[in-house]
Amino acid sequence: MPSLVSGRHRTPAELQAALKVVNDQLADANDLERPALELVAQKLTEELVEVERELAQKKGSSDGHVGSGDGSTSLQTSEVPQGSASVSQPSGESGDQPTISGGDEDLVTFLKGLPKVRVEDGVQKYVLIRVDPEQNETKRFETTIYLVRGNPQAEYHYQCALDTIKELESKGIEAEVQGGGRIECRMKDRQIEIYGHSYQYGRADHSITAQLIKQFFGSDYQVSWGDYGY
């Protein structure tokens, strides 16, 4: 995808800087300005995913850390600072597994190993990602797949989605962010609260997020949600 401004591929650092500007504008946008800004943010995010994937392919990187081409390192939303707790494996029920017809064993294995929920302890922005069968007809999905991705280090919601979108696209799977919000995980107390919205993606369906988290963590956790706050 060509750059929206310069007609050339920009570096991840340049694209993230552009996204920061657009997201800041979205925070103050009125109803007339918002649709155009949301479209720009979506295109920039798609370009960022594509550029980072191309850089990874060129460098033959196998560790998931992609250089920006200008000496800096692009944000990896899966990184966890020392002392924090990242949760990507369920402690309770795992929920329904995706159903695929046609016997694509590699794809089935990949999807079964893909955690439905990735969150960390504390307050964090999150996004709800949807993989729709209609967008992946050649993959023969029989069910819609939802994924929850949170990250306390993310300044903007798109940063919560980047790693998973790239991971799915590496398998030829198309996905879209359905919305965002915030999740407060109090792991010690076994309590999780879901609320808020994203300026870029709108409000996620928190009821779906709550259902996924309940299935993921099990009945020992108290999960609540509401359409309030930012």
Q: Which among 65, 157, 197, 206 is annotated as catalytic?
A: 157
| Chain centre to alpha carbon of residue 85 | 18
Q: Is 197 a catalytic residue?
A: no
| Residue 45 CB partners (closer than 8 Å, separation 6+) | 19, 158, 161, 162
Cα distances (Å, whole numbers) of residue 164 to 146, 177, 183, 203:
12, 11, 18, 19
Distant-in-sequence, close-in-space partners of 115: CB < 8 Å, separation ≥ 6:
88, 89, 90, 147, 216
Degrees, nearest 5: CA angle 175-201-63: 50
Annotated binding-site residue numbers for substrate? 125
CA 175 – CA 131 distance, rounded (Å)? 5
Q: Are 75 and 16 in contact (CB under 8 A)?
A: yes
Q: Residues annotated in the binding site, as ranges?
A: 125
Q: Which of 197, 15, 17, 164 is nearest to 77 (CA)?
A: 164
Residues with a catalytic annotation lie at 157
